[in-house]
Amino acid sequence: MAALLTTNLGATRLLGRGKVRDLYAVPCAGPSADQEALLLVATDRISAFDHVLATGIPGKGRILTQISLFWFDLLASLVPNHLITAEVSEFPASLQPYASQLEGRSMLVKQTKMFPVECVVRGYLTGSGWKEYQASSSVCGIPLPGGLLDGSRLPEPLYTPSTKGEVGTHDENISYAATEAAIGAADAAELKRLTLAIYQKAAAHAESRGLILADTKFEFGRTSEGIILADEVLTPDSSRFWEAASWKPGGAQPSFDKQFVRDYLEAIHWNKQAPAPELPAEVVERTQAKYLEAFRRLTGRDLNL
């Protein structure tokens, strides 16, 4: 199967293309027909080091969408979400000619005023957190006890919000006080509460499947009904999942994500400047297999691409 790198939905209004998702505005059906909904389409694009690569991972968009749908359902008792429907047959008639592009990889969602923060939660010391800890015994300015290792479980999950970086830029960590200044104390407190509650439930589910949820990030928005969970949720693109049975603090842990891609790009000494290189077939196949394994482990189901 070929990778879907970009979508074309005819006269449907394209709002933008992110690293992975194409975003469209579509008329609502039913009681909200005077408004527009959003259509999120997860392509098979893959990014690394803040660049979208020339090669996609076939079926990746379907895998990510189906993982998000699984979590939206599991977390519904904690927080409402932006999903209207993921059944293409229920999309407006104008989208039906494009069903082959949309099937399994798209969600019709509510228009939402998004909060300008990424809600990051860290349960384990890794990545940029480990680098900071080595220098200052802290993560995002939050002091931690001495003696922790790369991959250590933190004494308690840390809420470490960041800005939302545009395509090609980094997200930047910000203090909780900066979040309060940006969105108000009440909303900042609620986003922190929701983030930690979701992480606790998701980490427990992952543990029941033999996985560790090391860290993840969420995005929230506001509708007339209040704060809702939006965008992708707890996918290998937004989260670090580790194999619990092989977890051993003291070094980098194998992840259920695009690690094969990053390792290859480091091995060829790419300068991390555009244009991004193409990927060999072996890296594509191994990365696709890892995403599929994450889906099976998390959901207990198979996915036919």
Q: Which residues, given as ranges, of the chain have pLDDT below 50? A: 30-33, 167-168
- Quick one: CA dihedral 139, 145, 146, 147, positive or negative? negative
pLDDT value at position 126?
95
Distance CA 18, CA 112 (A): 17
Taken in order of first residue, the domains within the chain and their CATH numbers are 13-111 (3.30.200.20), 114-263 (3.30.470.20)
Alpha-carbon separation of residue 38 from 41, 131, 215, 228 (angstroms): 10, 38, 28, 15
pLDDT in tens, 176-216: 999 999 999 999 999 999 999 999 999 999 999 999 999 99
pLDDT value at position 34?
52
Angle between helices 185-208 and 176-183 (to 10 degrees): 120
Nearest to 254 by CA among 151, 129, 139: 151
pLDDT in tens, 91-136: 999 999 999 999 999 999 999 999 999 999 999 999 999 999 999 9
Average pLDDT, rounded, for the chain:
93
pTM: 0.94
pLDDT value at position 259?
86
pLDDT value at position 283?
96
